[in-house]
Structure formats: structure tokens, C-alpha cells
Amino acid sequence: MNIAVVGLGLIGGSVCKALKANTFHHIMGIDTDPETIRKALEQGAIDEAIDESRLSEANLTIVALYPVPTVEFVKKNADKFRKGSIVIDMSGVKGYVVKNCTPVLDEQGVIFIGTHPMAGTENSGFDYATATLFRKASYILTPTESTPQIAIDLVSTLGACMGFGQVVIATPEQHDANIAYTSQLAHVVSNAYVKSPALFRADGFSAGSFLDLTRVAKLNEEMWSSLFLCNKEALLNELNIIINSLGEYRDAMVNDDIDTLREILKTGRERKEKSMEFYGQERK
């Protein structure tokens, strides 16, 4: 089959490389940067470079852009996709994208499925793309009630070819609530952690816990600021929860209340232990 990949950054580039490594499909790349296209061709990550006019040749189009450009691309090119073909996106928020893309493509007889590969690195761009980026990761699909099962099965199977360890089906709203907690909040907290003046005076004191807490502070602010605002309600909910929780530890300390402090810590430990029964099975 012909697969068009739009945006050959870290994700799109890795999609191309994984599909070339593990399938015999014909991969057509679209990117605004000629140098990226040149590298992708040179490395055999794509079979050919195309422009939007040839989207009609694709049985599947994979849009690997940030959420706002994803919606813009789909709206602008809605009439160019092949009737009956599938368009998926790979961005980190699903409510915003699915809500904006589905009706537009539906009108054209094109099937849209929002997807989210739970993988990435702190670096971005084609230079960091690898055929193994998705290995053992979760691949979240957010079909709607009217999505044909066969389209879900095709995307899911391509996910297996790309190396994903499991496919998880969720509603866009479930996805956005969960991702706000497991990924977006982690990036906010980590980024906030390094704001302390203590950062630059604690050389020699850094423990593994500090390194864990601050690893993802090194983030791409263009991407994440956009992702956060596209998932505003869910992330604000989680931010308020952790700010309130931190206030409970603070209050217990201010009051020298060691019993409450110990109890709060114990509750956290027990929740973590319980959660490890399922999270613990996943790759790190």
C-alpha cells in the first residue's frame, strides 16, 4: 500500500524508518524542509518525496505534526485525500484534533483516527529519528463510534509493524485526561523543579532522585506550550491537584505534625506500590 507521511521530524521520521525496516509498503514523504527530504531519501527512510497534490495516491496518510498544524493541514487538504482512505495523526492531544478533523474528513468520505505513540526523546527532528523509537511502547488509538473496525485493525497492525508493544483504545477525553497526568504534568513539575535558586549551588549533592525528577525539564517549549493549551482543562485539573497535595505536606511541616506527615507519606507510598502492580510491568 501507499503510505504518505507528513512531517519528517522525530516521530514522522521514526514512522518512516520503522515502516521501511519492517514492511514492504511504499512510503511517500512530505516535509517543508528540503534538507530533511534529502536526508530521508538518502537514508532510505522514504521511497519518494511528494507534495500535497499527490495525497490522493495514499491509502493511508500519517500526519506527524504538532496539534495546531495538524488541524490546519487536514482542513487545508481535506479535498485531496483519497475517498475511502484513512488519515491518522500522531500528536499528543486527541480531543482537540479529533473534534476538528473528523467532521471535515467525514464530509469527504475519508476516515480519520486520532493516534498517539507513547514514545519520544528529549531531542526533536529527523536527525534523532530511529526505526526502534516505538519499541515496546503503548500506541493509543481514539476511534469514534462510527470508525470502521477494519480501519482500526489496519492501523493497529501497522502499529505492531512499527514495534509498539500494545495498542490501547480510548476515547479522546480519556486519552487527554490520562495524558495530562502521566506525561504533561510530569513535564510541568520537572520544569518547575529546576526553578529553585538551589539548582546551581548543589553540585556534588545530586542524588538519583534529583536526576529522575528533572530529566524531562529539558523539553521543547514550542511543542509543549501548544500541547498544554490544547489540553487545558485536563492539565489544569492535575496541576491544581498536585499543588493542593504539596500544600498538605507543607502544612503538616509548618505545624510540626509528624503523625500527619508520616500518614500522608504512607498513603503516597501505598498508592505507588499498588500502582506498580500494573505500571511496573511497563518498560522504562
* Interacting span for a copy of itself (CB under 8 A) from 4-12, 93-101, 104-112, 206-214: 206-214
Largest separation between any pair of C-alpha atoms in the chain: 69
Among 1, 150, 160, 265, binds a copy of itself (CB under 8 A): 265
Within 10 Å of residue 184's Cβ, how many Cβ atoms? 21
CB of 137 to a copy of itself, least distance (A): 9
Site for a copy of itself in 169-198 (CB under 8 A): 174-175, 177-183, 185-198
* C-alpha–C-alpha distance, residues 202 and 279, integer Å: 32
CB of 123 to a copy of itself, least distance (A): 12
**Residue 218 interacting with a copy of itself (CB under 8 A):** yes
**Residue 214 interacting with a copy of itself (CB under 8 A):** yes
* Interacting span for a copy of itself (CB under 8 A) from 29-37, 41-49, 78-86, 242-250: 242-250
What values do phi and psi take at 14, rounded to 5?
Answer: -70, -35
**Residue 79 interacting with a copy of itself (CB under 8 A):** no
3-state secondary structure 197-261: HHHHHCCCCCCHHHHHHHHHHCCCHHHHHHHHHHCHHHHHHHHHHHHHHHHHHHHHHHCCCHHHH
**Residue 212 interacting with a copy of itself (CB under 8 A):** yes
Among 21, 49, 78, 261, binds a copy of itself (CB under 8 A): 261
CB of 74 to a copy of itself, least distance (A): 21
* Interacting span for a copy of itself (CB under 8 A) from 16-24, 101-109, 148-156, 211-219: 211-219
Choose between 1 and 265: whose C-beta lies nearer to a copy of itself: 265
* Cell 476511534, residue located: 143
Provide the 3-class DSSP secondary structure of residue 92: coil
Choose between 6 and 223: whose C-beta lies nearer to a copy of itself: 223
Site for a copy of itself in 105-124 (CB under 8 A): 118, 120
Beta bridge partners of 6: 30, 63
Q: Helices in 29-148 by DSSP H: which ranges?
A: 34-42, 67-76, 95-106
**Residue 136 interacting with a copy of itself (CB under 8 A):** no
**Residue 200 interacting with a copy of itself (CB under 8 A):** yes
Choose between 38 and 271: whose C-beta lies nearer to a copy of itself: 271
**Residue 125 interacting with a copy of itself (CB under 8 A):** no
**Are 60 and 88 a contacting pair, CB within 8 Å?**
yes
Percentages (nearest 5) of helix, strand, coil residues in the chain: 55, 15, 30
